[in-house]
Amino acid sequence: MPARLDGKVALITGATGGIGHATAELFAREGAGLVVTDISQDTTEKLAARLRATGAEVLAVRLDVTSPENWSEAIELTRRRFGRLDVLVNIAGVVDWPGVEETTKDGWDRVVAVNQTGTWLGMKAAMPLLRASGNASVINTSSVLGLVGSGAAAAYQATKGAVRLLTKTAAVEYATRGVRVNSVHPGVIATPMIQDLLDEQGDRQPDIARTPMRRAGSPAEVASTMLFLAGDESSFVTGTELVVDGGLTAH
């Protein structure tokens, strides 16, 4: 049985983080050529080396998603190495927890630059290569906090809501141009960023207590949804949000 991403090339931002790393590993197992990117050249190169050791074809690129110049360079390097791009996975993101009054202008600007502007810049830079594919997929990472309010994380929630609607308008714009665009909305996921908190509080952690499945998800469970949206099984799926939250937003 052929691998689900045979012949496809995917660029992943935030590839060294929990969800990004799991997605890169899964895509490599499923036959994709990979462009793994992150803000740190060293950790990105180490990830690429591990994936190459499994037989994958991988290009490592340092990418600051807030920089149009970095994006142009990353897409040009992709074109030179692979000659095509079929999947763009925007995962890179940052979080800031203060609410409306406590959020600083610098904090707001940083979160918007990475989460919202970075996602738009990625689509803008990659779209010519994606359109040339004729059967491409963009996967933007939002959050359950792009769907419901929490009473905190004002900047983060604003950007994740923006990513959701940016995804929908791009889906409509490119629906007849060979590019599907969808968003993924993780709930509580056991990534390194929150693992210490989960270890300390376990199922007493408030968001897990509100999750009907009473546990955190794993990065691999989010990566599986990325794989579905990247592959041809989702050929009639565009402009939608795929929620991966153990039922958190179901009530």
Distance, in Å, from the CA atom of 68 to the CA atom of 121, rounded to the nearest integer, reads 6
Distance, in Å, from the CA atom of 243 to the CA atom of 147, rounded to the nearest integer, reads 9
Cα-trace Rg, the chain: 17
Q: Please identify which of the residues 27, 71, 82, 156 carries the catalytic annotation.
A: 156
DSSP track, 198-233: HHHHGGGSHHHHTSTT-SPBPHHHHHHHHHHHHSGG
Quick check: helix, strand or coil at residue 92? Answer: coil
DSSP state of 144: G
Distance, in Å, from the CA atom of 233 to the CA atom of 8, rounded to the nearest integer, reads 14
Which amino acid belongs to residue 17? G
Determine whether 156 is an active site residue: yes
CA distances to 89, 99, 135 from 57, in Å: 17, 43, 21
Burial pattern 14-42, b for ≥16 Cβ within 10 A else e, equals: bbbbbbbbbbbbbbbbbbbbbbbbbbeee
Catalytic residue IDs: 156
